[in-house]
Amino acid sequence: MDSAEAMGPRCLWVEGGVEVLEELNRGDFDLSEVEVVYEPAVPVGEVPEGLSSVWRDWLRFCEEEGFSSVAEALVESGLNSLVGLGPGLTPLGDDVLSGYLLGLRVLGRVFDLGSLDLSRTHWLSRQMVLDAAEGLCWSPFRGLISALLSEDRASLARWLERCAGFGSTSGKGYLLGMAVAFEGMGGVSFCRG
Amino acid sequence: MQRIAVERGTYFDSVTLMLISREIGAMEGVEQVALNMATEANLRIMASAGFDLSGLELGESDLVIAVKGKEEVLDRAISRAKELLKSPPGRRSDSASYFPKSVDGALALLPGANLALISVAGQYAADVARACLDLGLNVMLYSDNVPLSAEVELKRIAGEKGLLVMGPDCGTAVIRGKGLGFANAYPLGPVGLVAAAGTGLQEVGVQMARRGVGLIHAIGTGGRDVKEEVGGSTFSMGVKLLLEDPEVEVLALVGKPPSPSVEGSILDLASSSGKPVVVGFVGGRRREDAFPLYFCSDLEEVAAVSSALAKGLDPNEAREELRSRREEVLRMAQARSRRGYLRGLFSGGTLCYEAQLLASSILGPIRSNAPLDKAYKLADSLRSEGHCMVDYGEDEFTQGRLHPMMDSSYRAQRLVVEAQDPEVSVILFDCVLGYGAHENPASQMAEAVQRARGICGDRVLFVSYVCGLEGDPQVASRQRRILEEAGVVLLESNAEAAIFAAACARG
Amino acid sequence: MEGARRLLREGPKVINVGVFEFFEELRAQGVEATHVDFKPPSASSDLLAKIRKLKGKV
């Protein structure tokens, strides 16, 4: 990894050299003394209404190739039906779910994970969902959310490029989920039938 | 009927190939299409689908493009497939680009946007344009088949909001030297254009550039704007804008003749400042210059006069130069003269119109699918009669097909047919370059010329004009060379080509 | 005519709706532009309508 941009949710970017590694290995590492350059937790805030047309566009990913079964499941059967749904390293259903949870987190809302049956998906994807619920995500999404909250449109456009291209459909799934959360659809049923 | 093409030493993934074959398969007249890398398995599949691949030497890194269907669409289907391979429909998703799904969404990301360029199907275009005007955007409506009532309403609203609506059916515009839609790489300069004719705009821009003069803005209005019902709404706004613009020193007006009342108000407006205005309502009645208005009969003359004015030279000297050059063209024609029918095949509507005007003064009435006089309309656009010129941009040729500026294959096929008519002695065609146009129109036509000459030998004279500039993506000099090598006689303007061709056919 | 004047003064900053090639030609000239993936309103799927209706549901 050569830059903060490539980082995933369970990473901290710390300035320092070999000594840091040695300290880590010895178990002597003291985080409070270190300057952290990158910290993956999403900021929390009000998503600006003036940018609502941007995330409403993400709802239209449901019309794209490969999305229909996941989108239908969400609409007909609620969030729990998304777990493990669809092919891929991270099933598209998990991506949408993660995006939704992350979106709620940005809005400062809490979600009861106990309502989801996460055993239905594999460990990597399960971890992604759990991370999202804690407000942890890949840095392009963190960049996107920062830009959104600060209404920095130019950066927003740039981060969107990165996020939409993430994986083959993962990024778009994430964005779709986030849009559902931002649209105040926080009342989406998580367990229906 | 089938046609097979092979692209050697290449690779395309199956998703891209599938997306392309889907698009080709949707073309009218195409019954079956297959795009596959030439692996053993794929070749077997194609053979069992009924494609005859015998005699072809194929390796795994060769791409086979196979099409079955009506004879007349096969060449086009192949060339379309090749175009799509260069910019594949599915490419966007793997180039990781995000595209907003709504104009609102787009504007939120690009708040400084000041123009919407709309080229969706006609039945949706007006609604999209209205939404854009409501958001404070100027509009360029490339789309045609927009109802007249919708156009009138859009322009009324735009007038109230102080916004420009260029179109409907506006294929070309230039703002601060940047081309919108079809446009050439004109140099920047002190001339401003208002044009109700797309290739009219292009020809004036190209001819000015030949004379070392550039332009800053060329406002397109769409052809219907200067009719009674629309009242020249956009044309007038364009004239006002450019008359008051300090960066514009000379104004040129281009198009077919407006409705009389509209022409009257435009000319009144044009005379209102001291800025020189060159009026090129081609095909209208000839008028005497009356300061600050200079009246011209053809597009090259508009360019010659505008260029002279921009350089501070005498426009009448420029006209004199034009006159003597055209006399020289007539002399050149004597050397190549051969009595017979003249057939013109055009991708540019205004170029076809102007060519008819000039040719008819030499040969008498010219038939066309878009004739000067309704009495000379071709009964069947696909069957030439006598001296005639066909505009391939007209509706009957563009339904379900790319515009001829984007693809000349349909026109090229016609060229070969015309050459086989024993009464035809001269075939004239335009070759329009620029952004948005086909990447190699000269080759498309040159191939057809070569095929034709194989059949008719030297009986037919092929005449053309390359409407383009060195800075265009196709590079004018390269395009000219391709045509010259195929034995085509090239002239320096649309007017010259028409005069030359007509004089040759007169015998 | 201020909106029109602004266009001429600033140069085009374009929202392209329709033919993707026009967007590419604009970018090739260095024009600031974005492209809208236009879908006719009638083609808007039932699915999208249902997704939009999720708002406020418990």
Sign of CA dihedral B48, B53, B55, B59: negative
Band (pLDDT 50/70/90 cuts) for residue B93 is very low
Closest CA to B493 of B140, B180, B92, B211: B211
Residue B100 reports pLDDT greater than 90 = yes
A99 contacts: CB under 8 Å, gap ≥ 6: A132, A173, A174, A175, A176, A177, A178, A179, A180, A181
**Chain B residue numbers touching A165 (CB-CB < 8 A):** 95-98
Which residue is associated with the tokens 């692996």? B39
Mean pLDDT, all residues of chain B: 92
The predicted pLDDT at position B91 comes to: 45
B481 contacts: CB under 8 Å, gap ≥ 6: none
Measured between CB atoms, does B119 come within 8 Å of chain C?
A: yes
The predicted pLDDT at position B153 comes to: 98
- Reduce the DSSP state of residue A182 to 3 states and report it: helix
Span B413-438, mean pLDDT?
95
The predicted pLDDT at position A26 comes to: 73
Q: Nearest residue on chain C to B406, judged by CA atoms?
A: C21
Domain boundaries, given as residue ranges, for chain B: 2-94, 111-320, 326-506
The predicted pLDDT at position C56 comes to: 46
Superfamily, domain B326-506 = Succinyl-CoA synthetase domains (3.40.50.261)
Q: How far is B68 from chain C (nearest CA, A)?
A: 27
Contact A118, A126 (CB under 8 A): yes
The predicted pLDDT at position B90 comes to: 47
Residue A31 reports pLDDT greater than 70 = no
**Chain B residue numbers touching C19 (CB-CB < 8 A):** 119, 142
pLDDT in tens, A88-109: 778 999 999 999 999 999 988 8
Q: How far is C20 from chain B (nearest CA, A)?
A: 9
The predicted pLDDT at position B9 comes to: 66
The predicted pLDDT at position B150 comes to: 97
Residue C57 reports pLDDT greater than 70 = no
Q: Which residues of A touch B (CB under 8 A)?
A: 50-51, 53-54, 56-57, 60, 153, 156-157, 160-165, 168
The predicted pLDDT at position C55 comes to: 60
Measured between CB atoms, does B48 come within 8 Å of chain C?
A: no
CATH topology of domain B111-320: Rossmann fold (3.40.50)
**Chain B residue numbers touching C12 (CB-CB < 8 A):** 114-115, 175-176, 178, 180
CA distance B420 to B452: 7
CA distance A16 to B20: 51
Nearest-by-Cβ selection for A62 from C47, C56, C57 = C47
The predicted pLDDT at position A191 comes to: 34
User: C-alpha C13: how far from its chain's center?
Assistant: 12
| Domains B111-320 and B326-506 belong to one CATH topology | yes
Q: Which of A3-7, B257-261, B280-284, C8-12 has the lowest mean pLDDT?
A: A3-7
The predicted pLDDT at position B92 comes to: 47
CATH of domain B2-94: 3.30.70
Q: Which of B10-14, B252-256, B489-493 has the lowest mean pLDDT?
A: B10-14
